[in-house]
Amino acid sequence: MKYAKATAALALVLLASGCSQPKEEKRAFQVPAALCGTPVPAELLSPALPAGGERIEEERKDGNGYFTCTVSVDGRTALTASWEWMEVGKSARSVAYSNPYRDLADVESEDKRYVYSDTGGVSRVTCEPVVAHRKGQAELFATIALSEHEAPAPEMKKLLLAYAEALSDSSECVQK
């Protein structure tokens, strides 16, 4: 009986120590106040980036009707932010599911304007006034996709909506 109590106490201590959270690594880089040139608050971008790391870099690709930016921390892809003009009538969910290797659409807004998950999301960007783009009408969609980690879905929603709102004020969206 004496050994049983000692064994139980030891097991409890080991269980408790195994459940403690590891200390989060400190970042050596400052989280920027923009996502690939589009202003978003650093506190919204922070949960989408790895906890540790020495340096952050962006690689941008601008095309005819699309923009993609890969954000890397210490040479490893952390997230991809993009926007693209698409045919009128596409849903955020269909854009999210266009890449079969990513699940960005766990939750859909009531108005079906955006979808998101703990690995990213897609939002239709409201451009006022709606302008003809290339051949006829088109709609702008913003996408954020995390690469090797997850962030809380509510945090991804906040980042996605801030990114989409900032794009609605950008030169890509506002007719000059």
Tens digit of each residue's pLDDT (9 = 90 or more) over 1-37:
555 444 444 444 444 444 444 445 578 899 999 999 9
Q: What is the mean pLDDT of residues 141-146?
A: 95
- Checking if the pLDDT of 112 tops 60, the result is yes
Question: Each residue of 84-108: pLDDT tens digit?
Answer: 988 888 899 999 988 766 778 889 9
Rounded Cα gap, residues 41 and 165, in angstroms: 12
CA 63 – CA 120 distance, rounded (Å):
22
- The CA R_g of the chain, rounded to the nearest whole Å, is 21
